[in-house]
């Protein structure tokens, strides 16, 4: 796991210049982009760099390819909305009490009668259900009574081997022995928090942050310290550094790739700096890489773990957002706290269910995962782009929307007078589930005019209608 | 859930008198017992009461039935060993640090090359593997992509319905809404502890107690207060009452039916008293009913929960000791803390895996569970009886052994000079895994001359040989 310096790649620079031209209106919807050869000459870069830049712009929904014709700026009904600004949470740590609110909201996220833009999970239409079921059935035929036995920690060697193989893709060369199998990333995060913190300790987190993580922090009697975040680049490291100088922090917990709810992606150089900063101070980094495989761009972001030379980074992940939410298969590579986390896993749930990690291991072994991921990413990036367009079309002026480069979530800032808790209630009455902003902060008054919309469901007239409904409700609340 | 007073049943009184006669040598191995009719006349009880008494004595291995002939006192190589005495733990609460020791021991419990008398799980030979696999496969055919979706808390309605149905058998008429599905009883206990206690709080537990529970207490930074226990009747309630008067206790955690490691069973009257005592003081009772279905006697013990009128009892259980350890399906009926526990379950593991609780629900629905349990209990009671005979035959004088009336564990007190940690190491060298006493207490010097032997494996010459080996090693350590 060598640590390499990082600059924006050439293709990223090329793409950024085109994006600026689109945002400034120099290139407009329907405009044809320069041919690959022209741009290669103009920018003095290789053909393949231009192709990569175009692929990237296509994946984030800014341009489209027309066969036999070339690349065009995508048509949008309205000009692209501005992004939300960098968050400015309170600078003091706070005990967390989101649970009651989350519970109310969560009930609505699972109501099958509602149009679901609430929960952060992919539609089952996007999942390889039949193949996973086939693996499961094969296991019951081939493995005798193995499924009856405890798969004691660290758990499923077959899956740990596959994870080690995949970790090359994350920029980290981990070994099967580095991993412990868990019941989803949620258990992994929980075990990490138990391993590093005692009641009353402070955990530095992103602002806004995933409500489940806030609940985990609450349930262990910990305090949350919210760090400002940019909607594009995630946690602001200068702010984090200042916070670390002011107070003792037991751990920093980040979702560097396509954070929930914002969808921000921390640049590689920031990841490297974050790892070094925390290593130096002996503060463990809990890296929630739950969405890392859902990059719209060609390349998967490197994990923070890939810069870890001392075992200070605890990498958590799962297959809940990419393969099988209902299987509850996650993992943690806890670095130097491996032995402690393994013991906690045992006392916590004894073992993960035996057959389900095995079924996923077989699926990975047979090589279908990358193909599946490519299709899933394409669908999600399309759905995110369509939802963003829907917001631009139906929501009132002054609405801002984040521009995620991965994942399946859209973080929307409404005009400042709109109360998203009221909006949430009205939307439910109208048959639509969304996630109101305040559940993403330990302070119930934060993000009152924000909502998170899930793009996990395929775009349909029903979703479009729901979007129009929410837009109309927003107007009535202004 | 009415609370009824309890006296020993008629058949229990009859059985006890015969047992006394056997222990006193009045009835000796090979002696024929009175015919059912004779005893019915002599004791002035009904035929069916005598039959129940004989069934009970058979289930605990004291007598045997010979077809066409009658009932006989079972032949034993040696006189029955005395039971261990009531435990006398220290009276102060203590932080728990068993983890490192447990980890070392636990490694050996899962080594397939060893003769396994270490882990407390049933041999897969005793489990209905094929039928459970069939249910699982049927689900993947019949339920579409349901297995892919999150089964959010409280989880699997089908299983909660079955649990409600079965709760009649526990003396408690619970409803499906009372239950939350968990990842084994371990997660259930963990959630209960999180719901009732904050770091530094004290939990009153049995002495000795299951090491996994001690680890859970340790992982949450709680203190354990060990309460004296009788090997036959479990927690001593006078001692508990005195302890509750001395100090604040956040909760009491008991395994009233066939405790681990001792196998004690709390009498019904004590359960009732315990529930009343804690209700009065507002101290929650966490009831671990993991082994409740494994009664050797005809009737299942009533749960403490059956005496709960205020929701103060948190009932935990699972199917890990009776159906499928590897499925990791457990449950909790948390009484008045239901909402809090449901939220904790969500933040902890989001949901339990969807298909596995469903497969168990189908198995229960189809009515095979009771038949399976009858066979399992018969096998376990035989195995426990054989192991106890093996101890009597191979271990030196002065050895004591508990007489469990259910479960699959044998708690053995060795002559006081034998160090079970040394014995554990020597036994491993000789290819046998046992569980040394000190892992069952938060104080590493407790139960130094005790071991727990699991009777989950069918009795074979290999097990008998291992027993002889351990007996020989014990002698060398005296």
Boundary residue ending a domain (B321, B350, B369): B369
* Higher pLDDT, residue A28 or B463: B463
Residue B293 lies in a domain: yes
The rounded distance, in Å, linking the Cα atoms of A217 and A213 is: 6
Orientation of helix A211-219 relative to helix A99-109, angle to 10°: 140
Residue B319 lies in a domain: yes
A154 to chain B: closest CA residue: B107
Q: What is the mean pLDDT of residues A41-51?
A: 91
Query: Which ranges in B260-367 belong to alpha helices (H)?
Result: 268-281, 338-349, 355-365
- Percentage with pLDDT > 70 across chain A: 96
**A60 shares its domain with A204:** no
B219 and chain A in contact, CB less than 8 A: yes
| Per-residue confidence band for A78, with pLDDT thresholds at 50, 70 and 90 | low
Q: What is the mean pLDDT of residues B165-179?
A: 95
B226 forms bridges with which residues in the sheet? B205
pLDDT of residue A76: 63
Are B99 and B213 in contact by the 8 Å Cβ rule? The answer is no
**B208 shares its domain with B339:** yes
**A435 shares its domain with A379:** yes
Tell me which DSSP letter residue B219 carries: H
> Residue A20's domain is classified under what CATH number?
1.10.10.10
Question: Of the given ranges (A42-56, A171-185, A238-252), which has the lowest mean pLDDT?
Answer: A42-56
**B58 shares its domain with B197:** no
pLDDT of residue A466: 94
The dihedrals phi and psi of A381, each to the nearest 5 degrees, come to: -65, -35
Please check the confidence at residue B41 and state whether its pLDDT lies above 60.
Answer: yes
Model confidence pLDDT, tens digit, residues B431-476:
999 999 999 999 888 999 999 999 998 888 999 999 999 999 999 9
Model confidence pLDDT, tens digit, residues B407-436:
999 999 999 999 999 999 999 999 999 999
**B200 shares its domain with B226:** yes
Boundary residue ending a domain (A334, A369, A404): A369
Max Cα separation, chain A? 66
B140 and chain A in contact, CB less than 8 A: yes
Q: What is the mean pLDDT of residues A46-60?
A: 88
Residue A315 lies in a domain: yes
Residue A412 lies in a domain: yes
B124 and chain A in contact, CB less than 8 A: yes
**B376 shares its domain with B414:** yes
Give contacts of B 17-46 with A, CB under 8 A. Answer: none
Q: Is B243 helix (H, G, I), strand (E, B) or coil?
A: helix
Residue B5 lies in a domain: no
**A437 shares its domain with A360:** no
**B225 shares its domain with B351:** yes
* Higher pLDDT, residue B69 or B201: B201
| A110 vs B contacts (CB less than 8 Å) | 150, 152
Q: What is the mean pLDDT of residues B14-21?
A: 85
Size of interface A-B (CB pairs under 8 A): 187
The rounded distance, in Å, linking the Cα atoms of A23 and A19 is: 6
**B364 shares its domain with B379:** no
B104 to chain A: closest CA residue: A343
The rounded distance, in Å, linking the Cα atoms of A439 and B346 is: 15
The rounded distance, in Å, linking the Cα atoms of B100 and B78 is: 38
pLDDT of residue B7: 63
A233 and chain B in contact, CB less than 8 A: no
Give contacts of B 295-334 with A, CB under 8 A. Answer: 320, 324-328
**B298 shares its domain with B151:** yes
Are B277 and B237 in contact by the 8 Å Cβ rule? The answer is yes
| Per-residue confidence band for B1, with pLDDT thresholds at 50, 70 and 90 | very low
Please check the confidence at residue B159 and state whether its pLDDT lies above 80.
Answer: yes
Q: How many domains does chain B have?
A: 3
pLDDT of residue A1: 36
The dihedrals phi and psi of B44, each to the nearest 5 degrees, come to: 60, 45
Query: Cβ B148–A136 below 8 Å, yes or no?
Result: no
For the stretch B37-46, contacts whose Cβ atoms lie closer than 8 Å and that sit 24 or more positions apart, written own/partner, are: B39/B14, B43/B14, B43/B17, B45/B10, B45/B11, B45/B14
Are B333 and B356 in contact by the 8 Å Cβ rule? The answer is no
Mutation choice for A interface testing from B323, B350, B439 by most A CBs within 10 A: B350
Query: Cβ B183–A183 below 8 Å, yes or no?
Result: yes
Please check the confidence at residue A4 and state whether its pLDDT lies above 60.
Answer: no
The rounded distance, in Å, linking the Cα atoms of B293 and B258 is: 10
Mutation choice for A interface testing from B145, B152, B191 by most A CBs within 10 A: B145
Residue A78 lies in a domain: no
The rounded distance, in Å, linking the Cα atoms of B112 and A43 is: 64
Query: Cβ B149–A106 below 8 Å, yes or no?
Result: no
| B145 vs A contacts (CB less than 8 Å) | 124, 127, 129
Tokens of B16: 């006890």
Are A352 and A329 in contact by the 8 Å Cβ rule? The answer is yes
A109 to chain B: closest CA residue: B152
| Per-residue confidence band for A97, with pLDDT thresholds at 50, 70 and 90 | low
Domain limits for position A48? 10-73
Q: Is B117 helix (H, G, I), strand (E, B) or coil?
A: coil
- Percentage with pLDDT > 90 across chain B: 71
The dihedrals phi and psi of A63, each to the nearest 5 degrees, come to: -130, 170
What is the overall mean pLDDT for chain A?
91
> Residue A390's domain is classified under what CATH number?
3.90.1150.10
Question: Of the given ranges (A178-192, A446-460, B63-77, B296-310), which has the lowest mean pLDDT?
Answer: B63-77
Residue B84 lies in a domain: no
Model confidence pLDDT, tens digit, residues A138-167:
999 998 899 999 998 999 999 999 999 999
| Per-residue confidence band for B24, with pLDDT thresholds at 50, 70 and 90 | low
pLDDT of residue A247: 93
Give contacts of B 410-429 with A, CB under 8 A. Answer: none
Q: Is A113 helix (H, G, I), strand (E, B) or coil?
A: coil
Model confidence pLDDT, tens digit, residues A347-405:
899 899 999 999 999 999 998 899 999 999 999 999 999 999 999 999 999 999 999 99
> Residue B231's domain is classified under what CATH number?
3.40.640.10
The rounded distance, in Å, linking the Cα atoms of B333 and B335 is: 6
Give contacts of A 331-360 with B, CB under 8 A. Answer: 339, 342-344, 346-356
Q: Label residue A167 exposed, middle or buried (CB < 10 Å: 0-12, 13-18, 19+).
A: buried
Tell me which DSSP letter residue A303 carries: P
Please check the confidence at residue B156 and state whether its pLDDT lies above 80.
Answer: yes
Q: What is the DSSP string of A207-259?
A: SS--HHHHHHHHHTT-EEEEE-EETTTEE-HHHHHHHHHHS--SEEEE--BS-
Among B127, B125, B124, CA closest to B372:
B127
| B344 vs A contacts (CB less than 8 Å) | 219
Residue A85 lies in a domain: no
For residue B365, the surrounding DSSP H or E stretch is: helix B355-365
Q: Where are the beta strands (DSSP E) in B414-454?
A: 432-433, 435-436, 450-454
**B210 shares its domain with B351:** yes
Model confidence pLDDT, tens digit, residues B84-132:
888 888 877 777 666 777 877 877 877 888 888 887 788 899 999 999 9
| B186 vs A contacts (CB less than 8 Å) | 347-350
What is the overall mean pLDDT for chain B?
91
Please check the confidence at residue A3 and state whether its pLDDT lies above 70.
Answer: no
Are B227 and B236 in contact by the 8 Å Cβ rule? The answer is yes
Are B320 and B187 in contact by the 8 Å Cβ rule? The answer is no
- Rounded to 5°, the CA angle A8-A10-A11 comes to 105
pLDDT of residue A16: 84
pLDDT of residue A112: 80
**B349 shares its domain with B388:** no
pLDDT of residue A79: 56
């Amino acid at each position: 796991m060598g640590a390499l310096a990082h600059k924006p790649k050439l293709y990223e620079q090329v793409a950024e210049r085109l994006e600026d031209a689109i945002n400034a209106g120099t290139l407009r919807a329907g405009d044809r982009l320069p041919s690959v050869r022209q741009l290669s000459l103009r920018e003095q870069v290789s053909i393949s760099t231009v192709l990569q830049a175009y692929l990237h712009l296509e994946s984030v929904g800014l341009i489209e390819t027309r066969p036999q014709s070339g690349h065009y700026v995508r048509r949008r009904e309205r000009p692209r909305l501005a992004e939300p600004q960098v968050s400015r949470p309170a600078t003091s740590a706070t005990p967390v009490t989101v649970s009651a609110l989350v519970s109310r909201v969560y009930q609505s996220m699972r109501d099958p009668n509602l149009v679901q833009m609430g929960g952060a999970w992919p539609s089952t239409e996007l999942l390889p259900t039949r193949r996973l079921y086939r693996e499961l059935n094969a296991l019951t035929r081939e493995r005798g009574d193995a499924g009856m036995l405890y798969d004691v920690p660290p758990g499923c060697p077959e899956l740990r081997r596959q994870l080690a193989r995949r970790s090359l893709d994350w920029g980290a060369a981990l070994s099967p022995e580095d991993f412990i199998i868990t019941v989803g990333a949620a258990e992994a995060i929980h075990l990490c928090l138990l391993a590093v913190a005692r009641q009353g300790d402070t955990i530095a987190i992103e602002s806004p942050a995933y409500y489940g993580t806030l609940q985990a922090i609450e349930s262990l009697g910990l305090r949350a310290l919210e760090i400002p975040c940019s909607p594009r680049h995630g946690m602001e490291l200068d702010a984090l550094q200042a916070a670390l100088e002011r107070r003792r922090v037991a751990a920093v917990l980040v979702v560097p790739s396509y954070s929930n709810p914002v969808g921000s992606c921390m640049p590689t150089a920031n990841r490297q700096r974050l790892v070094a900063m925390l290593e130096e101070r002996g503060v463990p980094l809990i890296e929630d890489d739950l969405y890392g495989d859902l990059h719209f761009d060609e390349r998967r972001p490197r994990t923070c773990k890939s810069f870890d030379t001392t075992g200070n980074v605890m990498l958590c992940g799962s297959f809940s957002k990419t393969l099988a939410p209902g299987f509850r298969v996650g993992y943690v590579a806890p670095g130097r706290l491996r032995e402690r986390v393994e013991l906690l896993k045992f006392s916590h749930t004894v073992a993960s269910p035996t057959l389900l990690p095995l079924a996923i291991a077989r699926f990975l072994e047979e090589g279908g995962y990358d193909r599946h991921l490519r299709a899933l990413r394409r669908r999600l990036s399309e759905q995110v782009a369509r939802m963003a367009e829907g917001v631009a079309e139906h929501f009132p002026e002054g609405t801002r929307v984040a521009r995620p480069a991965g994942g399946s979530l859209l973080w929307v800032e409404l005009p400042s007078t709109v109360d998203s808790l009221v909006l949430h209630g009205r939307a439910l009455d109208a048959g639509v589930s969304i996630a109101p902003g305040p559940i993403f902060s330990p302070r119930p008054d934060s993000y009152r005019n924000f909502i998170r919309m899930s793009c996990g469901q395929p775009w349909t007239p029903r979703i479009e209608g729901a979007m129009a409904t929410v837009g109309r409700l927003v107007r009535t609340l202004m």
